[in-house]
Amino acid sequence: MPIQTIIYQNNNFLLIWKPSGVPSTFWKEKSFLDFMKENTSERIFTSDPLSKLMPVELVQFVFPHIKDFQEVKNIDKVFLAQVDTFGQAQEFGLLNRLDNDTSGFLYFAKTQEAYDSFKQAQKTGTIQKFYLAQIQWQFKVGFSPTGRNWKLEINYPIMHRSQEKMIAIRKPQDILKGRWKEHEVTTQIELLYYDKKNDVSTLLVTIHKGIRHQIRVHLASSGYPIVGDQLYSSTTHRSIPNRSISSLHLRSIGFSQ
Tens of pLDDT, residue by residue over 199-233, are 888 888 999 877 889 999 999 988 889 888 888 87
Q: Which of 126, 80, 132, 66 is nearest to 105 (CA)?
A: 132
Identify which has the larger pLDDT, 152 or 4: 152
pLDDT tens digits, one per residue of 236-252: 555 555 555 556 788 78
Q: Identify the pLDDT of residue 241.
A: 54
Q: State which H helix or E strand residue 193 sits in.
A: strand 187-195
Q: In the predicted model, is pLDDT for residue 2 greater than 50?
A: no
**AA identity, residue 224:** Y
Distance CA(187)–CA(157), nearest Å, equals 11
What CA–CA distance (Å, rounded) separates 221 from 215? 10
Cα–Cα distance measured from residue 113 to residue 116, given in angstroms and rounded to the nearest whole number? 5
The predicted pLDDT at position 114 comes to 93
Predicted local confidence at residue 60, as pLDDT: 56
Which distant-in-sequence residues (6+ apart) come within 8 Å of 72 by Cβ?
Answer: 7, 8, 9, 78
- What is the sign, positive or negative, of the torsion defined by CA atoms of 94, 96, 100, 103? negative
pLDDT tens figures, 118-142? 988 888 878 888 888 888 888 877 5
Task: Flag whether pLDDT at 257 surpasses 50.
Answer: yes
Q: Regarding predicted confidence, which is higher, 108 or 255? A: 108
Q: What is the pTM of this model?
A: 0.77
Residues 257, 63 contacting (CB under 8 angstroms): no
Q: For the chain, which domains are there?
A: 7-124 (no CATH), 131-256 (3.30.2350.10)
